[in-house]
Amino acid sequence: MAKKAKKSSESCVTMTELVLPNDTNTLNNLMGGKLMHWMDVVSAIAAQKHSNRIVVTASADNISFKHPIQLGDVVTLKAKVTRAFSSSMEVYVEVFAENIPSGTKFKSHSAFFTFVAVDQGGRPIDVPELMPETDEEKELYEGALRRRQLRLVLAKRMKPEEATELKSIFFDKTIGKAE
Ligand SMILES: CC(C)(COP(=O)(O)OP(=O)(O)OC[C@H]1O[C@@H](n2cnc3c(N)ncnc32)[C@H](O)[C@@H]1OP(=O)(O)O)[C@@H](O)C(=O)NCCC(=O)NCCS
């Protein structure tokens, strides 16, 4: 029996961390690996909330480190499921860094993670569909199919010629058509 669809808002998770000396490199900036760990944890919780299952990380999309986060900053991570497929879920995670004494706060990172819901034996298991509500959720939902195809092609789990949604980004169907 098909599982009842769930709203994106039902999987929302916010996690707050303080950057301590043990989290930093020798320049007193947050280590990239530590940040990726927090991103993995917060997005895994979102995927668990959507599926009510044990989940495993299948992939993490590109994460760029443009702005350093400093020792003593407060890091807020927000995650929610953007779309569910059969057993996999795409999760969008945003990271904000805040320096409380100076009163500054900025969005430092964002990324997409994919989690797969599994049974006790580690076998993939179906998850409920996701029902986007807001305009932002609808946009993320629409883009999720293209992003899924891109990551499956890169992981050699899908042939490029099968990635029809992805091809539509690069090829305008009207170009090259006979009059
Ligand atoms: C992820 C995992 C469960 C997939 O198992 P599998 O036997 O390959 O199963 P399938 O081929 O049926 O794929 C299951 C789902 O995973 C998705 N998937 C597999 N590899 C993926 C990847 N690299 N990126 C995104 N999605 C992926 C598939 O698209 C499929 O999604 P769908 O059911 O929604 O269509 C399995 O590879 C695994 O357990 N990996 C280790 C997970 C882990 O230990 N993570 C911690 C980080 S080291």
Q: Look at residue 166 and tell me if it is in a domain.
A: no
Instruction: Give the CATH number, domain containing residue 90.
Output: 3.10.129.10
CA-nearest residue for atom 45, ligand 1, is 57
Q: How many domains does the chain have?
A: 1
Contacts of 5 (CB under 8 A, 6+ apart): 128, 129, 130, 131
Mean pLDDT over 65-72 rounds to: 93
Report whether pLDDT(179) > 50.
no
Instruction: Determine, yes or no, domain membership for 172.
Output: no
Pocket of ligand 1 (CB under 6 A): 56-59, 85-88, 114, 116, 118, 122, 124, 151-152, 155, 157
Rounded CA-CA distance 149/167 in Å is 10
Nearest atom in ligand 1 to the alpha carbon of residue 57 is 45
Answer yes or no: is 152 within a domain. no
Q: Mean pLDDT score of the chain, rounded to an integer?
A: 93
Average pLDDT over every residue of 67-73:
96
- pLDDT of 136 over the 80 cut: yes
Which pLDDT value is given to residue 173? 56
How, if at all, do strands 104-118 and 54-60 pair? antiparallel
Pocket test for ligand 1, best of 40, 115, 116 (most atoms within 8 A of CB): 116
Is the per-residue pLDDT at 99 higher than 80? yes
Q: Is residue 61 part of a domain?
A: yes
Question: Do the beta carbons of residue 69 and residue 135 sit within 8 Å?
Answer: no
- The phi-psi region of residue 21 (left if phi > 0; otherwise alpha if psi is between -120 and 50; otherwise beta) is alpha
Domain of residue 93 covers: 6-131
In a domain, 39, yes or no: yes
pLDDT at residue 66, rounded to an integer: 85
Structural contact between residues 91 and 79, judged by C-beta atoms closer than 8 angstroms: yes
Residue identifier of the C-alpha nearest atom 40 of ligand 1: 58
The pLDDT, as a whole number, for residue 168 is 73
**Separation of alpha carbons 99 and 74, rounded Å:** 6
| CA of residue 114 to ligand 1 center, whole Å | 8
Q: Is the dihedral of CA 24, 25, 27, 32 positive or negative?
A: negative
Is residue 153 included in any domain, yes or no?
Answer: no
Higher per-residue confidence, 2 vs 74: 74
Residue 160 lies in a domain: no
> Per the domain annotation, does 139 fall within a domain?
no
Residue whose Cα lies nearest atom 28 of ligand 1: it is 88
Residue whose Cα lies nearest atom 46 of ligand 1: it is: 57
Query: How far, in Å, are 26, 55, 107, 128, 129 from residue 110 at the CA level?
Result: 24, 21, 8, 25, 23
Residues 6+ apart with CB under 8 A from 153: 159, 160, 163, 166
Cα 83 to Cα 112: distance, rounded to the nearest angstrom: 11
Pick from 104, 106, 84: which is nearest to 94 by CA? 106
Confidence (pLDDT) at 178 = 45
Q: Is the pLDDT of residue 111 over 90?
A: yes
pLDDT band at 97 (very low <50, low <70, confident <90, very high): very high
Answer yes or no: pTM beyond 0.85. Answer: yes
